[in-house]
Amino acid sequence: MAMKTPEQYEESLRNLNLKVYLQGELVENPVDHPVIRPSLNSVKKTYELAQMPEYQELMTATSHLTGEKVNRFCHLHQSTEDLVKKVKMQRLLGQKTAACFQRCVGMDAINAVDSVTFEMDQKLGTNYHDRFNSFLQRMQEEDWTVDGAMTDPKGDRSLSPSKQADPDLFLHVVQKRADGIIVSGAKAHQTGAINSHWILVMPTIAMGKEDADYAVSFAAPADAKGVFYIYGRQSCDTRKLEGGDIDVGNKEFGGHEALMVFDRVFIPWDDVFMCGEYEFSGSLVERFAGYHRQSYGGCKVGVGDVLIGAAALAVEYNGVEKASHIKDKLIEMIHLNETLYSCGIACSAEGKKTASGNYIIDLLLANVCKQNITRLPYEIARLAEDIAGGLMVTMPSEQDLRHPEIGKVVEKYFKGVANIPMESRMRILRLIENLTLGTAAVGYRTESMHGAGSPQAQRVMIARQGNLAAKKELAKVIAGIPQNAK
């Protein structure tokens, strides 16, 4: 079939039989639940923009498997141009949603699994790559949202998967059968899981021989028997249940995370892409992490654009446009945001072709990109909060503004510049609050720290990819030290 329209995407989710728990209750209808719905709207935007002629170049690509036009989120990168367009697409969607639009994880997962399965087959004589290509073709033809699932709960971090007191703290194979495998365990912090059609599971760390049962990669329907979800809590999330739209800040869009539990789930062999090949688990983790760290140079920058715009409006509404220190803070926010974007573009432009034919980013620069992401959005957020002022976190509620008596008092005492409606000021301050402290902060500030690996994970990769030995040799030549001398 052709690429899904936004309406077809929403209807396809209604046809799923997802088992979702939210605040201790089983959700009867995830699609229309007020807490979940904004995150669905964000994913829906990826389908909407792909239908619009002005965004076709960024939002779509040509499948290397079929030659048909596909949504870029279902595409394997065929050039450095594709890698650059990915980052530009993510910035665009960040600008349009000011939230996490959730399909990046699956896009990064398919690109990592592609090259690793190819290399496994070349070395071991397996047929994982053919299986993966079959899944990918179905994904492209059905325009699926696929959730890439890597992060395990991990339990005691000092112990390997096979040494944990509870074996389910890392997802693992519990039985191999003639027709497939049975898996148990969980994946934590799963972005967009409840808005996905399929799940693409990967190991979470490099494995040793004793952990072979944990070196597993496969695809499963999001509503497969034995799979259920526990929705993650976010700051200010119950504001979505109040019925208004000002206090939520971002009235239409959002993101979500969930704990995804696999309770003895059957996976047919056709959908298994790694099963015990522990020596390739590290490569899969490294490549997925690299792709996903590149992603942050696009999506977080797009959300940053919205936050900078909101701060600039707060300046206007507060009447402080002429203050030199305020101008300097806005300039600094722009400088930091464009620095992040530069890193995303740089690691894309320096990408290389893999053995399977798809393109991978420069891993060193991708990790530098994400290392900056763990820091600079915090400063951008701090500057936005500084500019906004204390009213951002002490403002009365929307119910107070709408009250027939005290509403006039709220209107009178919280007005800024005379010709700017007080409600406009209230809305922009709530948006800044949402992006820096509320539900969107999960997908902007805090996710900037922990998404795609915590800061130390990038530093490990930077040390590994930084080629310090070669830099020493460069210094020796310049200093006139013989090559073999100390």
Neighbouring residues of 83: CB distance < 8 A, sequence distance ≥ 6 = 77, 294, 347, 348, 349, 351, 359, 361
Task: List the catalytic residues.
Answer: 100, 104, 191, 257, 292, 296, 299, 447
The burial class, CB within 10 Å (0-12 / 13-18 / 19+), for 391 is middle
Q: Which pTM does this prediction carry?
A: 0.96
Q: How far apart are CA 350 and CA 333, in angstroms?
A: 26
Q: Which residue has the higher pLDDT, 451 or 105?
A: 105
Neighbouring residues of 408: CB distance < 8 A, sequence distance ≥ 6 = none
Q: How far apart are CA 69 and CA 287, in angstroms?
A: 26
Q: Please tell me whether 191 is known to bind a ligand.
A: yes
Percentage of the residues of the chain whose pLDDT score is greater than 90: 95
Length of the chain equals 486
Q: With a cut of 80, say whether residue 1 has pLDDT above it.
A: no
Q: What is the pLDDT of residue 56?
A: 97
Q: With a cut of 90, say whether residue 439 has pLDDT above it.
A: no
What domains can be seen in the chain, in order of their start residue?
A: 6-279 (2.40.110.10), 284-464 (1.20.140.10)
Give which of 312, 310, 306, 304 is closest to 342, Cα–Cα.
Answer: 304
Residue 403 tokens, joined: 């009250």
Task: Return mean pLDDT, the chain.
Answer: 96
* Sheet order of strands, 272-275 included: 146-149, 198-201, 216-221, 272-275
Q: Say which DSSP state 138 is in.
A: H
Average pLDDT over residues 329-350: 98
What are 452-477's pLDDT values in tens digits? 888 999 999 999 999 999 999 999 99
Judge contact between 98 and 250, C-beta under 8 A.
yes
Q: How far is CA 300 from CA 109, 321, 356, 450, in A?
A: 19, 26, 30, 13
